[in-house]
Structure 1
Protein backbone atom coordinates (compact mmCIF):
# COMPACT_ATOMS: atom_id res chain seq x y z
CA UNK A 1 0.00 0.00 0.00
CA UNK A 2 1.23 3.48 -0.90
CA UNK A 3 0.41 6.37 1.41
CA UNK A 4 1.18 9.95 0.49
CA UNK A 5 0.50 13.50 1.59
CA UNK A 6 1.51 16.96 0.44
CA UNK A 7 3.07 19.37 2.93
CA UNK A 8 2.32 22.26 0.58
CA UNK A 9 2.12 22.85 -3.16
CA UNK A 10 2.62 26.12 -5.02
CA UNK A 11 5.14 28.84 -5.74
CA UNK A 12 5.62 29.41 -2.00
CA UNK A 13 7.09 25.94 -1.44
CA UNK A 14 6.60 22.28 -2.27
CA UNK A 15 7.09 18.98 -0.47
CA UNK A 16 5.48 15.55 -0.87
CA UNK A 17 5.83 12.58 1.49
CA UNK A 18 5.38 8.99 0.27
CA UNK A 19 5.31 5.86 2.44
CA UNK A 20 5.40 2.15 1.61
CA UNK A 21 5.66 -0.45 4.35
CA UNK A 22 8.86 0.43 6.28
CA UNK A 23 9.98 3.18 3.90
CA UNK A 24 9.30 6.92 4.01
CA UNK A 25 10.69 9.49 1.59
CA UNK A 26 10.16 13.18 0.90
CA UNK A 27 10.18 14.74 -2.55
CA UNK A 28 11.40 18.36 -2.54
CA UNK A 29 11.96 20.64 0.42
CA UNK A 30 10.83 24.06 -0.74
CA UNK A 31 10.56 25.50 2.76
CA UNK A 32 12.96 26.52 5.48
CA UNK A 33 14.27 23.64 7.57
CA UNK A 34 12.12 24.74 10.51
CA UNK A 35 8.99 25.03 8.38
CA UNK A 36 9.61 21.61 6.83
CA UNK A 37 9.89 20.15 10.32
CA UNK A 38 6.67 21.87 11.38
CA UNK A 39 4.77 20.57 8.39
CA UNK A 40 6.14 17.06 8.85
CA UNK A 41 4.96 17.12 12.46
CA UNK A 42 1.51 18.18 11.25
CA UNK A 43 1.52 15.00 9.13
CA UNK A 44 2.52 12.92 12.16
CA UNK A 45 6.15 12.48 11.14
CA UNK A 46 9.61 13.32 12.41
CA UNK A 47 12.58 13.99 10.09
CA UNK A 48 14.44 10.94 11.39
CA UNK A 49 11.72 8.77 9.85
CA UNK A 50 12.74 9.87 6.35
CA UNK A 51 14.92 7.41 4.43
CA UNK A 52 15.63 9.77 1.54
CA UNK A 53 15.04 13.24 0.15
CA UNK A 54 14.46 13.45 -3.61
CA UNK A 55 14.81 16.78 -5.42
CA UNK A 56 13.00 17.48 -8.70
CA UNK A 57 15.02 20.58 -9.69
CA UNK A 58 16.93 23.54 -8.32
CA UNK A 59 14.24 26.26 -8.22
CA UNK A 60 13.81 27.70 -4.75
CA UNK A 61 10.22 26.60 -4.27
CA UNK A 62 11.42 23.00 -4.62
CA UNK A 63 14.96 22.88 -3.29
CA UNK A 64 14.51 25.56 -0.58
CA UNK A 65 16.51 24.52 2.47
CA UNK A 66 17.17 20.96 1.28
CA UNK A 67 20.86 21.33 2.05
CA UNK A 68 20.39 22.54 5.60
CA UNK A 69 17.51 20.16 6.28
CA UNK A 70 19.36 17.08 4.98
CA UNK A 71 22.54 17.94 6.90
CA UNK A 72 20.65 18.56 10.13
CA UNK A 73 19.00 15.16 9.98
CA UNK A 74 21.54 13.10 8.02
CA UNK A 75 19.17 12.34 5.14
CA UNK A 76 20.63 11.15 1.81
CA UNK A 77 19.65 13.24 -1.20
CA UNK A 78 18.76 11.89 -4.65
CA UNK A 79 18.87 14.29 -7.60
CA UNK A 80 20.04 14.55 -11.19
CA UNK A 81 23.59 15.61 -11.98
CA UNK A 82 22.32 18.91 -13.40
CA UNK A 83 20.21 19.66 -10.33
CA UNK A 84 23.11 18.95 -7.98
CA UNK A 85 25.43 21.20 -9.98
CA UNK A 86 22.87 24.01 -10.18
CA UNK A 87 21.92 23.97 -6.49
CA UNK A 88 23.19 26.94 -4.50
CA UNK A 89 23.71 24.70 -1.48
CA UNK A 90 24.60 21.16 -2.52
CA UNK A 91 26.53 20.20 0.60
CA UNK A 92 24.31 17.22 1.26
CA UNK A 93 25.40 14.57 3.80
CA UNK A 94 25.36 12.03 0.97
CA UNK A 95 24.36 12.44 -2.65
CA UNK A 96 23.10 9.84 -5.12
CA UNK A 97 22.84 10.94 -8.73
CA UNK A 98 19.77 9.80 -10.62
CA UNK A 99 19.22 9.40 -14.36
CA UNK A 100 15.96 9.82 -16.22
CA UNK A 101 14.08 6.52 -16.82
CA UNK A 102 16.61 4.54 -14.74
CA UNK A 103 14.83 2.89 -11.77
CA UNK A 104 16.23 3.24 -8.27
CA UNK A 105 15.33 1.12 -5.27
CA UNK A 106 14.87 2.88 -1.93
CA UNK A 107 14.05 0.04 0.43
CA UNK A 108 10.37 -0.81 -0.22
CA UNK A 109 9.93 1.79 -2.96
CA UNK A 110 10.80 1.58 -6.63
CA UNK A 111 11.31 5.07 -8.01
CA UNK A 112 11.66 6.01 -11.67
CA UNK A 113 12.71 9.58 -12.52
CA UNK A 114 11.46 11.01 -15.81
CA UNK A 115 12.23 14.19 -17.72
CA UNK A 116 9.79 17.08 -18.10
CA UNK A 117 10.18 20.28 -20.16
CA UNK A 118 11.01 22.96 -17.58
CA UNK A 119 13.46 25.86 -17.47
CA UNK A 120 15.96 24.31 -15.08
CA UNK A 121 19.25 22.45 -15.54
CA UNK A 122 18.10 18.80 -15.52
CA UNK A 123 14.58 18.54 -14.06
CA UNK A 124 12.94 15.26 -13.16
CA UNK A 125 9.58 14.17 -11.86
CA UNK A 126 8.93 10.73 -10.39
CA UNK A 127 6.82 7.61 -10.42
CA UNK A 128 6.80 5.61 -7.20
CA UNK A 129 5.66 2.03 -6.73
CA UNK A 130 5.42 -0.48 -3.91
CA UNK A 131 5.18 -3.31 -6.46
CA UNK A 132 1.40 -3.17 -6.50
CA UNK A 133 0.29 0.43 -7.09
CA UNK A 134 2.01 3.29 -8.91
CA UNK A 135 1.88 6.98 -8.06
CA UNK A 136 3.06 9.63 -10.55
CA UNK A 137 4.12 13.16 -9.61
CA UNK A 138 3.87 15.44 -12.65
CA UNK A 139 4.43 19.17 -12.07
CA UNK A 140 6.70 21.96 -13.33
CA UNK A 141 6.31 21.15 -17.02
CA UNK A 142 5.86 23.75 -19.72
CA UNK A 143 3.99 21.46 -22.08
CA UNK A 144 2.75 17.88 -22.32
CA UNK A 145 5.05 15.30 -23.89
CA UNK A 146 4.12 11.84 -25.23
CA UNK A 147 6.22 10.33 -22.43
CA UNK A 148 4.15 12.18 -19.83
CA UNK A 149 0.97 10.80 -21.40
CA UNK A 150 2.37 7.25 -21.26
CA UNK A 151 3.27 7.64 -17.59
CA UNK A 152 -0.14 9.08 -16.71
CA UNK A 153 -1.84 6.17 -18.48
CA UNK A 154 -0.24 3.56 -16.24
CA UNK A 155 -0.66 5.44 -12.95
CA UNK A 156 -3.05 4.40 -10.20
CA UNK A 157 -2.59 7.82 -8.61
CA UNK A 158 -1.68 11.04 -10.41
CA UNK A 159 -0.56 14.37 -8.91
CA UNK A 160 -0.90 16.71 -11.87
CA UNK A 161 0.03 20.37 -12.23
CA UNK A 162 -2.78 22.86 -12.93
CA UNK A 163 -0.74 26.01 -12.58
CA UNK A 164 -2.60 28.82 -14.30
CA UNK A 165 -5.54 29.99 -16.36
CA UNK A 166 -4.11 31.80 -19.43
CA UNK A 167 -6.66 34.66 -19.38
CA UNK A 168 -5.96 35.33 -15.71
CA UNK A 169 -2.21 35.28 -16.30
CA UNK A 170 -2.51 37.71 -19.21
CA UNK A 171 -4.69 40.15 -17.24
CA UNK A 172 -2.71 39.80 -14.03
CA UNK A 173 -0.04 42.00 -12.43
CA UNK A 174 3.07 39.99 -13.35
CA UNK A 175 5.74 41.67 -15.53
CA UNK A 176 5.53 40.63 -19.17
CA UNK A 177 8.82 38.75 -18.99
CA UNK A 178 7.54 36.59 -16.14
CA UNK A 179 4.24 35.99 -17.93
CA UNK A 180 6.15 34.81 -20.97
CA UNK A 181 8.24 32.46 -18.85
CA UNK A 182 5.18 30.90 -17.21
CA UNK A 183 3.16 30.41 -20.39
CA UNK A 184 6.12 29.40 -22.53
CA UNK A 185 6.85 25.81 -23.41
CA UNK A 186 9.34 25.49 -20.55
CA UNK A 187 7.30 27.02 -17.75
CA UNK A 188 4.20 25.60 -16.08
CA UNK A 189 1.17 23.63 -17.24
CA UNK A 190 -2.02 25.66 -17.71
CA UNK A 191 -5.36 24.14 -16.78
CA UNK A 192 -6.29 23.25 -20.35
CA UNK A 193 -3.00 21.35 -20.86
CA UNK A 194 -3.73 19.23 -17.78
CA UNK A 195 -7.20 18.53 -19.18
CA UNK A 196 -5.77 17.56 -22.56
CA UNK A 197 -3.18 15.23 -21.00
CA UNK A 198 -5.94 13.40 -19.15
CA UNK A 199 -8.00 13.11 -22.32
CA UNK A 200 -5.04 11.65 -24.22
CA UNK A 201 -4.14 9.15 -21.51
CA UNK A 202 -5.98 5.88 -20.99
CA UNK A 203 -6.98 6.56 -17.39
CA UNK A 204 -9.02 3.42 -16.68
CA UNK A 205 -6.48 2.48 -13.98
CA UNK A 206 -6.68 5.86 -12.30
CA UNK A 207 -7.98 5.67 -8.74
CA UNK A 208 -6.86 9.07 -7.43
CA UNK A 209 -6.27 12.43 -9.13
CA UNK A 210 -5.15 15.61 -7.37
CA UNK A 211 -4.41 19.00 -8.95
CA UNK A 212 -1.06 20.47 -7.91
CA UNK A 213 0.99 23.70 -7.97
CA UNK A 214 -1.92 26.12 -8.45
CA UNK A 215 -0.90 29.74 -8.82
CA UNK A 216 -2.48 31.95 -6.17
CA UNK A 217 -2.40 34.94 -8.55
CA UNK A 218 -3.15 33.38 -11.93
CA UNK A 219 -5.63 30.60 -11.21
CA UNK A 220 -8.79 29.83 -9.30
CA UNK A 221 -9.73 26.46 -7.81
CA UNK A 222 -12.96 26.39 -9.82
CA UNK A 223 -11.02 26.64 -13.09
CA UNK A 224 -8.61 23.87 -12.08
CA UNK A 225 -11.39 21.55 -10.91
CA UNK A 226 -13.31 22.11 -14.14
CA UNK A 227 -10.27 21.23 -16.27
CA UNK A 228 -9.52 18.05 -14.31
CA UNK A 229 -13.16 17.01 -14.39
CA UNK A 230 -13.37 17.50 -18.16
CA UNK A 231 -10.21 15.45 -18.55
CA UNK A 232 -11.61 12.38 -16.83
CA UNK A 233 -15.33 12.83 -17.45
CA UNK A 234 -16.28 13.51 -13.84
CA UNK A 235 -18.04 16.21 -11.86
CA UNK A 236 -15.97 19.22 -10.87
CA UNK A 237 -17.07 18.85 -7.25
CA UNK A 238 -15.29 15.48 -7.12
CA UNK A 239 -11.89 16.92 -8.01
CA UNK A 240 -9.27 17.44 -5.30
CA UNK A 241 -6.63 20.17 -5.20
CA UNK A 242 -3.48 20.61 -3.14
CA UNK A 243 -3.10 23.98 -1.44
CA UNK A 244 -0.08 26.06 -0.58
CA UNK A 245 -0.73 26.18 3.15
CA UNK A 246 -2.20 22.73 3.79
CA UNK A 247 -1.12 20.60 0.83
CA UNK A 248 -3.42 17.63 1.26
CA UNK A 249 -3.82 15.05 4.01
CA UNK A 250 -2.84 11.37 3.78
CA UNK A 251 -4.20 9.39 0.84
CA UNK A 252 -3.84 5.68 0.10
CA UNK A 253 -3.48 3.56 -3.01
Structure 2
Protein backbone atom coordinates (compact mmCIF):
# COMPACT_ATOMS: atom_id res chain seq x y z
CA UNK A 1 0.00 0.00 0.00
CA UNK A 2 1.15 3.53 -0.73
CA UNK A 3 -0.35 6.96 -0.30
CA UNK A 4 0.23 10.64 -1.00
CA UNK A 5 -1.42 13.93 -0.22
CA UNK A 6 -2.81 15.73 -3.26
CA UNK A 7 -3.10 18.93 -1.21
CA UNK A 8 -3.72 19.82 2.41
CA UNK A 9 -4.87 23.08 3.96
CA UNK A 10 -7.82 25.39 4.52
CA UNK A 11 -8.41 25.78 0.76
CA UNK A 12 -8.60 22.12 -0.17
CA UNK A 13 -7.74 18.61 1.00
CA UNK A 14 -7.40 15.24 -0.72
CA UNK A 15 -5.38 12.08 -0.04
CA UNK A 16 -4.83 9.26 -2.52
CA UNK A 17 -4.33 5.68 -1.29
CA UNK A 18 -3.31 2.88 -3.66
CA UNK A 19 -2.94 -0.89 -3.35
CA UNK A 20 -2.38 -3.39 -6.18
CA UNK A 21 -3.02 -0.78 -8.90
CA UNK A 22 -6.38 0.20 -7.40
CA UNK A 23 -6.95 3.46 -5.56
CA UNK A 24 -9.35 5.28 -3.31
CA UNK A 25 -9.62 8.94 -2.40
CA UNK A 26 -10.08 10.49 1.01
CA UNK A 27 -11.85 13.84 0.50
CA UNK A 28 -11.87 16.11 -2.54
CA UNK A 29 -11.84 19.76 -1.61
CA UNK A 30 -10.71 20.82 -5.06
CA UNK A 31 -12.58 21.40 -8.30
CA UNK A 32 -12.99 18.39 -10.56
CA UNK A 33 -10.55 19.69 -13.15
CA UNK A 34 -7.87 20.20 -10.50
CA UNK A 35 -8.46 16.74 -9.05
CA UNK A 36 -8.24 15.02 -12.43
CA UNK A 37 -5.04 16.90 -13.18
CA UNK A 38 -3.49 15.92 -9.85
CA UNK A 39 -4.48 12.29 -10.31
CA UNK A 40 -2.72 12.33 -13.67
CA UNK A 41 0.34 14.01 -12.19
CA UNK A 42 0.36 11.37 -9.45
CA UNK A 43 0.65 8.70 -12.13
CA UNK A 44 -2.70 7.10 -11.37
CA UNK A 45 -5.04 6.16 -14.20
CA UNK A 46 -8.48 7.65 -13.62
CA UNK A 47 -10.00 4.19 -14.06
CA UNK A 48 -7.94 2.90 -11.13
CA UNK A 49 -9.88 5.10 -8.70
CA UNK A 50 -12.65 2.91 -7.28
CA UNK A 51 -14.29 5.11 -4.62
CA UNK A 52 -14.07 8.33 -2.62
CA UNK A 53 -14.60 8.77 1.11
CA UNK A 54 -15.73 12.05 2.66
CA UNK A 55 -14.80 13.13 6.18
CA UNK A 56 -17.42 15.89 6.48
CA UNK A 57 -19.30 18.55 4.54
CA UNK A 58 -16.97 21.56 4.86
CA UNK A 59 -16.05 22.82 1.42
CA UNK A 60 -12.31 22.30 1.76
CA UNK A 61 -13.03 18.56 2.03
CA UNK A 62 -16.22 17.91 0.09
CA UNK A 63 -16.87 20.49 -2.61
CA UNK A 64 -15.40 18.42 -5.46
CA UNK A 65 -16.69 15.00 -4.47
CA UNK A 66 -20.00 14.80 -6.30
CA UNK A 67 -18.76 16.20 -9.60
CA UNK A 68 -15.64 14.02 -9.61
CA UNK A 69 -17.49 10.81 -8.75
CA UNK A 70 -20.22 11.47 -11.30
CA UNK A 71 -17.55 12.06 -13.94
CA UNK A 72 -15.78 8.78 -13.07
CA UNK A 73 -18.99 6.90 -12.17
CA UNK A 74 -17.66 5.70 -8.82
CA UNK A 75 -19.38 5.63 -5.41
CA UNK A 76 -18.72 8.16 -2.68
CA UNK A 77 -19.01 7.21 0.97
CA UNK A 78 -20.12 9.61 3.72
CA UNK A 79 -22.06 9.55 6.97
CA UNK A 80 -25.79 10.16 6.88
CA UNK A 81 -25.28 13.50 8.62
CA UNK A 82 -22.80 14.63 5.98
CA UNK A 83 -24.97 13.36 3.14
CA UNK A 84 -28.05 15.09 4.49
CA UNK A 85 -26.16 18.37 4.81
CA UNK A 86 -24.84 18.03 1.25
CA UNK A 87 -28.23 16.86 -0.11
CA UNK A 88 -26.76 13.55 -1.24
CA UNK A 89 -29.20 11.17 0.42
CA UNK A 90 -31.08 10.59 -2.84
CA UNK A 91 -27.97 10.33 -4.99
CA UNK A 92 -27.43 6.96 -6.66
CA UNK A 93 -23.66 7.01 -6.02
CA UNK A 94 -23.84 7.81 -2.30
CA UNK A 95 -23.08 5.02 0.17
CA UNK A 96 -23.80 5.47 3.87
CA UNK A 97 -20.99 5.14 6.40
CA UNK A 98 -21.48 4.12 10.01
CA UNK A 99 -18.75 4.84 12.56
CA UNK A 100 -16.55 1.82 13.38
CA UNK A 101 -18.17 -0.29 10.63
CA UNK A 102 -15.46 -1.16 8.06
CA UNK A 103 -16.02 -0.93 4.31
CA UNK A 104 -14.08 -3.07 1.83
CA UNK A 105 -13.01 -1.25 -1.34
CA UNK A 106 -10.17 -1.93 -3.79
CA UNK A 107 -8.59 -4.67 -1.63
CA UNK A 108 -8.49 -2.24 1.28
CA UNK A 109 -10.59 -1.97 4.40
CA UNK A 110 -11.66 1.53 5.43
CA UNK A 111 -12.84 2.05 9.01
CA UNK A 112 -14.68 5.31 9.79
CA UNK A 113 -13.91 6.92 13.15
CA UNK A 114 -16.23 9.51 14.68
CA UNK A 115 -14.43 12.68 15.81
CA UNK A 116 -15.37 15.89 17.67
CA UNK A 117 -15.69 18.61 15.03
CA UNK A 118 -18.27 21.30 14.29
CA UNK A 119 -19.89 19.44 11.42
CA UNK A 120 -22.84 17.08 10.98
CA UNK A 121 -21.58 13.58 11.88
CA UNK A 122 -17.90 14.04 10.92
CA UNK A 123 -15.64 11.03 10.42
CA UNK A 124 -11.98 10.29 9.90
CA UNK A 125 -10.46 7.09 8.55
CA UNK A 126 -8.09 4.21 9.17
CA UNK A 127 -7.24 2.29 5.99
CA UNK A 128 -5.83 -1.23 6.08
CA UNK A 129 -4.46 -3.17 3.13
CA UNK A 130 -4.97 -6.88 2.53
CA UNK A 131 -1.39 -7.29 3.74
CA UNK A 132 -2.21 -5.72 7.10
CA UNK A 133 -0.55 -2.32 6.62
CA UNK A 134 -2.50 0.41 8.43
CA UNK A 135 -2.69 4.12 7.49
CA UNK A 136 -4.42 6.58 9.79
CA UNK A 137 -5.73 9.86 8.37
CA UNK A 138 -6.80 12.33 11.05
CA UNK A 139 -7.73 15.98 10.59
CA UNK A 140 -10.46 18.41 11.53
CA UNK A 141 -11.05 17.63 15.18
CA UNK A 142 -10.76 19.89 18.19
CA UNK A 143 -9.91 17.38 20.90
CA UNK A 144 -8.57 13.88 21.42
CA UNK A 145 -11.10 11.42 22.76
CA UNK A 146 -10.15 8.00 24.09
CA UNK A 147 -12.06 6.47 21.18
CA UNK A 148 -9.97 8.42 18.66
CA UNK A 149 -6.70 7.43 20.33
CA UNK A 150 -7.67 3.77 20.57
CA UNK A 151 -8.83 3.70 16.94
CA UNK A 152 -5.45 4.90 15.66
CA UNK A 153 -3.22 2.56 17.62
CA UNK A 154 -1.04 0.14 15.64
CA UNK A 155 -0.94 2.32 12.52
CA UNK A 156 2.17 2.02 10.37
CA UNK A 157 1.73 5.57 9.02
CA UNK A 158 -0.17 8.64 10.14
CA UNK A 159 -1.27 11.79 8.36
CA UNK A 160 -2.29 14.10 11.20
CA UNK A 161 -3.59 17.64 11.57
CA UNK A 162 -1.29 20.25 13.11
CA UNK A 163 -3.50 23.23 12.41
CA UNK A 164 -2.41 26.11 14.62
CA UNK A 165 -0.13 27.51 17.26
CA UNK A 166 -2.28 28.79 20.16
CA UNK A 167 -0.24 31.98 20.62
CA UNK A 168 -0.31 32.83 16.92
CA UNK A 169 -4.04 32.10 16.82
CA UNK A 170 -4.73 34.33 19.83
CA UNK A 171 -2.79 37.20 18.25
CA UNK A 172 -3.75 36.53 14.65
CA UNK A 173 -6.20 38.14 12.21
CA UNK A 174 -9.26 36.01 12.97
CA UNK A 175 -12.19 37.65 14.79
CA UNK A 176 -12.78 36.45 18.37
CA UNK A 177 -15.63 34.11 17.43
CA UNK A 178 -13.55 32.32 14.81
CA UNK A 179 -10.54 32.11 17.12
CA UNK A 180 -12.77 30.50 19.74
CA UNK A 181 -14.13 28.03 17.18
CA UNK A 182 -10.70 26.94 15.97
CA UNK A 183 -9.32 26.56 19.50
CA UNK A 184 -12.44 24.88 20.87
CA UNK A 185 -13.13 21.22 21.57
CA UNK A 186 -14.90 20.92 18.19
CA UNK A 187 -12.39 22.95 16.18
CA UNK A 188 -8.88 21.96 15.10
CA UNK A 189 -5.83 20.38 16.70
CA UNK A 190 -2.96 22.63 17.74
CA UNK A 191 0.66 21.65 17.24
CA UNK A 192 0.87 20.55 20.87
CA UNK A 193 -2.30 18.45 20.62
CA UNK A 194 -0.93 16.80 17.50
CA UNK A 195 2.30 15.99 19.31
CA UNK A 196 0.33 14.59 22.25
CA UNK A 197 -1.63 12.35 19.89
CA UNK A 198 1.58 11.04 18.30
CA UNK A 199 3.04 10.20 21.71
CA UNK A 200 -0.11 8.36 22.72
CA UNK A 201 -0.29 6.12 19.64
CA UNK A 202 3.43 5.72 18.92
CA UNK A 203 4.72 2.16 18.72
CA UNK A 204 7.69 0.39 17.06
CA UNK A 205 5.69 -0.30 13.89
CA UNK A 206 4.96 3.39 13.25
CA UNK A 207 7.35 4.28 10.43
CA UNK A 208 5.97 7.51 8.95
CA UNK A 209 4.19 10.58 10.37
CA UNK A 210 3.27 13.62 8.30
CA UNK A 211 1.53 16.81 9.42
CA UNK A 212 -1.17 18.52 7.41
CA UNK A 213 -3.99 21.06 7.45
CA UNK A 214 -1.41 23.62 8.61
CA UNK A 215 -2.94 27.09 8.89
CA UNK A 216 -1.33 29.71 6.68
CA UNK A 217 -2.32 32.50 9.09
CA UNK A 218 -2.12 30.93 12.53
CA UNK A 219 0.89 28.65 12.32
CA UNK A 220 4.51 28.50 11.25
CA UNK A 221 5.87 25.46 9.45
CA UNK A 222 9.21 25.65 11.27
CA UNK A 223 7.36 25.67 14.57
CA UNK A 224 5.30 22.65 13.52
CA UNK A 225 8.46 20.74 12.71
CA UNK A 226 10.08 21.68 16.01
CA UNK A 227 7.09 20.65 18.12
CA UNK A 228 6.48 17.36 16.31
CA UNK A 229 10.12 16.31 15.99
CA UNK A 230 10.38 15.66 19.71
CA UNK A 231 7.22 13.54 19.70
CA UNK A 232 8.25 11.56 16.62
CA UNK A 233 11.88 11.19 17.68
CA UNK A 234 13.60 12.80 14.72
CA UNK A 235 15.19 16.10 13.72
CA UNK A 236 12.86 18.97 12.67
CA UNK A 237 14.06 18.88 9.07
CA UNK A 238 12.93 15.26 8.81
CA UNK A 239 9.29 15.97 9.73
CA UNK A 240 7.19 15.74 6.53
CA UNK A 241 4.89 18.77 6.26
CA UNK A 242 2.06 18.67 3.75
CA UNK A 243 1.40 21.57 1.42
CA UNK A 244 -1.76 23.28 0.22
CA UNK A 245 -0.65 23.74 -3.37
CA UNK A 246 1.74 20.83 -3.91
CA UNK A 247 1.38 17.06 -3.76
CA UNK A 248 3.55 15.11 -1.37
CA UNK A 249 5.77 12.26 -2.48
CA UNK A 250 4.43 8.73 -2.44
CA UNK A 251 4.91 6.93 0.87
CA UNK A 252 5.06 3.15 0.58
CA UNK A 253 4.11 0.91 3.49
CA UNK A 254 6.08 -2.26 2.98
CA UNK A 255 6.78 -5.22 5.22
The question of a shared fold, defined as TM-score above 0.5 by the shorter chain, is answered with yes
**How many pairs does the alignment contain?**
252
* CA drift at 1:32: 0.8
**For the residues of structure 2 that align with 1:231 and 1:53, how far apart are their CA atoms?**
31
* CA drift at 1:65: 1.9
- Find the residue that maps to 1:6 and give its secondary structure: strand
Counterpart for residue 70 of structure 2: 71
Counterpart for residue 183 of structure 1: 183
Q: Is the 8 A contact 1:47 1:73 kept in 2?
A: yes
Q: Is the 8 A contact 2:4 2:15 kept in 1?
A: yes
**For the residues of structure 2 that align with 1:58 and 1:251, how far apart are their CA atoms?**
27
Counterpart for residue 44 of structure 2: 45
Matched, 1:244 2:244: yes
Distance 1:215 1:142, change over 3 A: same
Q: Is the 8 A contact 2:209 2:232 kept in 1?
A: no
* Structure 2, unpaired ranges of 5+: none
Matched, 1:110 2:83: no
* CA drift at 1:90: 6.3
Deviation digits for residues 143-178 of structure 1, max 9, x if unmatched? 111122223331000001000001111111111111
Matched, 1:122 2:118: no
* CA drift at 1:88: 5.1
* Structure 1, unpaired ranges of 5+: none
* CA drift at 1:235: 1.6
Matched, 1:192 2:189: no
Matches within 5 A, 1:1-253: 2-87=1-86, 92-131=91-130, 132-253=132-253
- If the length of structure 1 is used for normalisation, what is the TM-score? 0.95
* CA drift at 1:34: 0.8
**For the residues of structure 2 that align with 1:85 and 1:201, how far apart are their CA atoms?**
33
Which range moves more in the overlay, 118-127 or 93-102?
Answer: 93-102
**For the residues of structure 1 that align with 2:47 and 2:90, how far apart are their CA atoms?**
19
**For the residues of structure 1 that align with 2:46 and 2:92, how far apart are their CA atoms?**
14
* CA drift at 1:67: 1.2
- If the length of structure 2 is used for normalisation, what is the TM-score? 0.94
**For the residues of structure 2 that align with 1:201 and 1:54, how far apart are their CA atoms?**
24
- Pairwise CA RMSD of aligned residues? 1.4
Q: Is the 8 A contact 2:80 2:89 kept in 1?
A: no
- Find the residue that maps to 2:187 and give its secondary structure: coil
- Find the residue that maps to 1:248 and give its secondary structure: coil
Q: Is the 8 A contact 2:113 2:151 kept in 1?
A: no
**For the residues of structure 2 that align with 1:204 and 1:116, how far apart are their CA atoms?**
25
